[in-house]
């Protein structure tokens, strides 16, 4: 699973860099906000990432990790923040594995 997560993170980060290089950071948002479909997509991403941020806050607290760097990455780079958080997270033993 970690390998799949790493591949997704690398590919999505490269894709994001390519899009921002082509449109510019401001141009990215200008294009996104130029249509009702873009507004809907932005609202969906904000809701989804808010739920992810809430989970990361709880998980980071449970693991004794700082939450704010991952929150900042998420606010600036979107899904790349949570993907990097998951990659850097200490593996948890499944309760089923102990049985």
What is the Rg, in whole angstroms, of the alpha carbon atoms belonging to the chain?
Answer: 16
Q: Is 22 helix (H, G, I), strand (E, B) or coil?
A: helix
> Tokens 């593996």, residue?
91
Q: Is the pLDDT of residue 39 over 70?
A: yes
Task: Give percent above pLDDT 90 in the chain.
Answer: 82
CA triple 51-57-63, angle to 5 deg: 135
pLDDT at 93 over 80: no
Note the pLDDT of residue 95: 52
**pTM, entire model:** 0.82
For residue 4, what are its two tokens? 């799949």
Residue 91's pLDDT is 73
Take residue 82 and report the two structure tokens written for it: 């949570």
Whether residue 98 has pLDDT greater than 80: no
Give the Cα separation of 82 and 67 in Å (integer): 11
């Amino acid at each position: 699973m970690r390998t799949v997560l790493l591949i997704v993170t690398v590919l999505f980060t490269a894709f994001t860099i390519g899009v921002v290089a082509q449109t510019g950071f401001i141009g990215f948002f200008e294009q996104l906000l130029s249509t009702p479909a873009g507004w809907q997509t932005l609202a969906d991403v904000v809701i989804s990432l808010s739920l992810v941020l809430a989970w990361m806050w709880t998980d980071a607290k449970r693991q004794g990790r700082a939450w704010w760097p991952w929150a900042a990455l998420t606010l600036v780079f979107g899904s790349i923040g949570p993907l990097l958080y998951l990659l850097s997270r200490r593996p948890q033993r499944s309760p089923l594995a102990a049985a």
